[in-house]
Amino acid sequence: MSGNPSPNGNPSWSDLDQTQIIQRVMEESTDRLRVDAQVSAVITDVEISSSQSSIAVGNPGNSNTLNVNSDGSIDVDVVLNSGTDSITTVPTNYIVQMDTSSSSTQYVGKAAPGTANSSAGWLIAQLSISSSGISVLYANGSGTSFNQIWNNRASLSYS
């Protein structure tokens, strides 16, 4: 059966056998389908449920993947350059101090167990309490640095 050529000059579908169709739609050098399209998508909500979903993080060139232990932790190897790199350990349990001597300004500090109030090693937050709410500011603007002295809390700069 012979059909009329299509507007772009290709033979009508009835003139092609299965092999010809595959040859026309496949790019042999990449072993992929030929596609003439641009696709963009906007994904607004993605929910990952620990009981129903999983994500593998790894190197596509091999089977090295990140494994999550049953307690939620991960095992890692850390490679350091002894000349330029360092690691600081941060304890997972802290001592906590609170200064609630004023109803409008309060201080909360945390440090590693055994850190003296007069030693640098504290993370200090200032809580400003007003009728419009509570704002939390950190000594020298850092909410991650354990480098302040608890005894100096009232004279430190907060941002």
- pLDDT tens-digit readout, 55-93: 666 776 776 777 777 777 777 666 677 777 776 665 568
Q: Is the model's pLDDT at 149 over the cut of 90?
A: yes
Is there a contact between 61 and 114 (Cβ–Cβ < 8 Å)?
no
Q: Is the model's pLDDT at 5 over the cut of 90?
A: no
Q: Is 121 helix (H, G, I), strand (E, B) or coil?
A: strand
Is there a contact between 114 and 122 (Cβ–Cβ < 8 Å)?
no
How distant is the alpha carbon of residue 14 from its chain centre?
53
Taking residue 76's Cβ as centre, other Cβ atoms within 10 Å add up to 6
Q: Is the model's pLDDT at 1 over the cut of 50?
A: no
In angstroms, rounded to a whole number, what is the distance separating the alpha carbons of residues 94 and 67? 28
pLDDT score of 155: 94
| Helix spans in 17-134 (H) | 18-25
Q: Is the model's pLDDT at 111 over the cut of 80?
A: yes
At 17, list the tokens: 């056998």
At 132, list the tokens: 């419009």
Is there a contact between 47 and 55 (Cβ–Cβ < 8 Å)?
no
pLDDT score of 120: 95
